[in-house]
């Protein structure tokens, strides 16, 4: 039994989705997903975990496709509408999917793959038509979804979650963040990622709430949605908050007042998927009276830690483990670290993924012998709350015998005069192992790097001061706005 869909029957007459200006009830979503399931089955009794890929923009139809795949016994594999053809091809080959459900906007884009991969492209409208048939009973232990990691150090891996995993990921958040059927959230996040699929869409639909889609981010439209008064929650990545702040600053005083008052009325605003600069958090709080709730999660675990909904939300920290999530910090020997010391985050719990798709070796390497998932992220306990120091592979710089947090240096840099944004990386160096280097983003074209260093020396120890700087117009980012630091290193 798929609890997410089963619960929808108790909310039949409520609005589930607001998409393209149209309201859709839970009853309509149940009916549409049943048609999708029946069409996919094509007279068979069960898809038996066949991988079904779909390239559909965020919408009512997207949700109906995902639910229909699950109800037919298949594994849902959402494709990113922003990815180039080689990235799409990689996922199709890796999952060995035979069918791709495609929105009409992307049919020609995918056409070349029909011959090269031997896949069948199915038009979206075809699977939404016709009559429903009897559907199989689905165990919670069944594989439900494959999401692909960003692949910053190697080819992306398919993260497999079961229906039980997904249920655990949803319920821990709906309880911790006190979701209710009266909530209304705007979804502006890509739907090939846990943030948009689980934290926003699925939490809303589990709760009997309304999920409103805006397929493409537009700062003006987001502020209009906030100003409408219909939203109770909002979740985004740091770069979106940065862009919303920029739009607010460019608006008239009267419009700023309208935006600020409306935003202050939401019950919760969340930031995730990348480290939130303290400067952005403080500015957002200044203009909206909202202190963003930061949390920590991964494709493999859903959300693991969160600042408190009702208690302290400390800037630069991600709170404590969510209910049902076990966490420990360990050193290189897999032993616990002393209080206040940095260590690698390891996670256990029902929300942790099942496996990497057809990659037994990677799955084995991802877990300790006693079953803890190895995140690769470094954190420390700081006065009762956890602080993420960075990802061991890209955000922890090993220089001259020190382990240095790139995120800490970035926070200090952003507070300097004329620096709008930045990213810090470690560059290979024969003498130090790695050299601290900073890419600065500024509207000024003549930043004095020596002056930046002088300012930093009053706030950071010498070994954390960047030895190299470059100035650029922007930073390389993935579709979620996270800086791709391996790409950034090439710029030096």
| 481 dihedral zone (left: phi>0; alpha: psi -120 to 50; beta) | left
Tell me the β-bridge partners of 159.
147, 356
pLDDT at 153: 47
Residue-wise burial string across 71-90, b where 16 or more C-beta atoms lie within 10 A, e elsewhere: bbbbbbbbbbbebeeeebbe
Phi, psi of 112 (to 5 degrees): -60, -25
The structural domains of the chain, ordered by start, are: 396-489 (3.30.300.30)
Does residue 121 sit in helix, strand or coil? strand
With a cut of 80, say whether residue 90 has pLDDT above it: yes
With a cut of 50, say whether residue 152 has pLDDT above it: no
Q: What is the pTM of this model?
A: 0.88
Please, what is the angle between helix 238-250 and helix 278-288, to 10°? 50
pLDDT band at 83 (very low <50, low <70, confident <90, very high): confident
Cα separation of 71 and 65, whole Å?
10
Helix ranges, 128-218 (H): 163-176, 194, 203-207
Name residue, tokens 């080689």.
Answer: 86
Average pLDDT over residues 311-326: 95
Question: Which long-range contacts (C-beta less than 8 Å, at least 24 apart) are formed by 138-141?
Answer: 138/1, 138/2, 138/70, 138/71, 138/73, 138/163, 139/163, 140/1, 140/2, 140/3, 140/164, 140/167
Q: Of 159-168, 169-178, 198-207, 395-404, give the lowest mean pLDDT range.
A: 395-404
Cα separation of 407 and 426, whole Å?
12
pLDDT at 393: 77
pLDDT at 267: 98
With a cut of 80, say whether residue 1 has pLDDT above it: no
Cα separation of 84 and 61, whole Å?
22
pLDDT at 392: 77
Q: Of 98-102, 308-312, 318-322, 445-449, give the lowest mean pLDDT range.
A: 445-449
Rounded to the nearest integer, the mean pLDDT of the chain is: 94
Q: Are 189 and 480 in contact (CB under 8 A)?
A: yes
pLDDT band at 245 (very low <50, low <70, confident <90, very high): very high
With a cut of 80, say whether residue 154 has pLDDT above it: no
Q: The dihedral of CA 199, 202, 208, 210: what is its sign? A: positive
pLDDT band at 452 (very low <50, low <70, confident <90, very high): very high
Cα-Cα-Cα-Cα dihedral of 76, 79, 354, 370, to 10°? -170
With a cut of 70, say whether residue 151 has pLDDT above it: no
With a cut of 90, say whether residue 443 has pLDDT above it: no
Q: What is the pLDDT of residues 117-145, one digit of tens each?
A: 999 999 999 999 998 899 999 999 999 99
Greater confidence (429 vs 201) lies with 201
pLDDT at 436: 95
Closest CA to 199 of 297, 71, 109, 56: 297
pLDDT at 150: 62
Q: What is the pLDDT of residues 204-231, one digit of tens each?
A: 999 999 999 998 899 999 999 999 999 9
- Cα angle, residue 93 at apex, residues 92 and 97 outer, rounded to 5°: 50
Strands 373-382 and 268-271: unpaired
Q: What is the pLDDT of residues 337-390, one digit of tens each?
A: 988 899 999 999 999 999 999 999 999 999 999 999 999 999 999 999 999 988
Q: How far is CA 191 from the centre of its chain?
A: 9
Q: How many CA atoms lie within 13 A of 132 on its CB side?
A: 15
Cα-Cα-Cα-Cα dihedral of 121, 124, 127, 130, to 10°? -130
pLDDT band at 327 (very low <50, low <70, confident <90, very high): very high
Decide: residue 383, CB within 10 A, 0-12 exposed, 13-18 middle, 19+ buried: exposed
Closest CA to 131 of 25, 36, 54: 36
With a cut of 90, say whether residue 277 has pLDDT above it: no
Cα separation of 5 and 26, whole Å?
9
């Amino acid at each position: 039994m798929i609890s997410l869909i089963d619960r929808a029957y108790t909310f039949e007459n409520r609005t589930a989705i607001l998409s393209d200006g149209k309201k859709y009830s839970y009853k309509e979503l149940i009916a549409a997903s049943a048609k999708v399931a029946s069409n996919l089955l094509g007279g068979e009794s069960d898809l038996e975990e066949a991988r079904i890929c779909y390239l559909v923009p965020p919408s009512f139809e997207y949700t109906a496709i995902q639910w229909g795949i699950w109800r037919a016994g298949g594994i849902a594999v959402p494709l990113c509408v922003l990815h180039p053809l080689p990235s799409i091809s990689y996922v199709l080959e890796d999952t060995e999917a035979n069918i791709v459900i495609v929105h009409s906007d992307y049919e020609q884009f995918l056409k070349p793959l029909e011959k090269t991969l031997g896949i069948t492209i199915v038009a979206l409208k075809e699977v939404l038509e016709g009559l429903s048939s009897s559907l199989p009973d689905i165990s919670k232990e069944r594989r439900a979804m494959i999401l692909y990691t960003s692949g910053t150090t190697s080819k992306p891996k398919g993260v497999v979650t079961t229906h039980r995993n997904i249920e655990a990921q949803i319920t821990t958040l709906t309880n911790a963040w006190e979701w209710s059927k009266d909530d209304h959230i705007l979804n502006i996040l890509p739907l090939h990622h846990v943030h948009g699929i689980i934290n926003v869409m699925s939490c809303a639909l589990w709760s009997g709430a309304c999920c409103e889609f805006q397929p493409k981010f537009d700062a003006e439209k987001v502020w209009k949605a906030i100003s409408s008064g219909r939203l109770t929650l909002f979740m985004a990545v740091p770069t979106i908050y940065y862009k919303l702040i920029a739009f607010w600053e460019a608006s008239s005083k009267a419009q700023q007042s309208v935006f600020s008052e409306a935003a202050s009325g939401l019950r919760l605003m969340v930031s995730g998927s990348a480290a939130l600069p303290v400067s952005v958090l403080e500015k957002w709080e200044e203009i909206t009276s909202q202190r963003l709730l930061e949390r920590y999660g991964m494709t493999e675990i859903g959300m693991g830690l969160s600042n408190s909904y009702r208690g302290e939300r400390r800037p630069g920290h991600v709170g404590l483990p969510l209910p049902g999530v076990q966490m420990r910090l360990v050193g290189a020997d897999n032993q616990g670290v002393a209080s206040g010391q940095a260590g690698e985050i390891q996670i256990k719990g029902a929300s942790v993924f099942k496996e990497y798709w057809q990659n037994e070796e990677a799955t084995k390497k991802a877990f300790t012998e006693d079953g803890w998932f190895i995140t690769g992220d470094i954190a420390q306990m700081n006065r009762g709350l956890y602080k993420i120091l960075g990802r061991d592979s890209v955000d922890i710089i090993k220089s001259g015998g020190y382990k240095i947090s790139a995120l800490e240096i970035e926070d200090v840099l952003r507070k300097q005069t004329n620096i709008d944004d930045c990213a810090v990386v470690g560059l290979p160096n024969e003498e130090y192992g790695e050299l601290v280097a900073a890419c600065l983003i500024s509207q000024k074209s003549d930043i004095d790097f020596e002056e930046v260093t002088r300012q930093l020396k009053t706030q950071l120890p010498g070994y954390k001061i960047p030895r190299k700087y470059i100035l650029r117009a922007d930073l390389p980012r993935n579709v979620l706005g996270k800086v791709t630091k391996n790409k950034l290193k090439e710029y030096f």
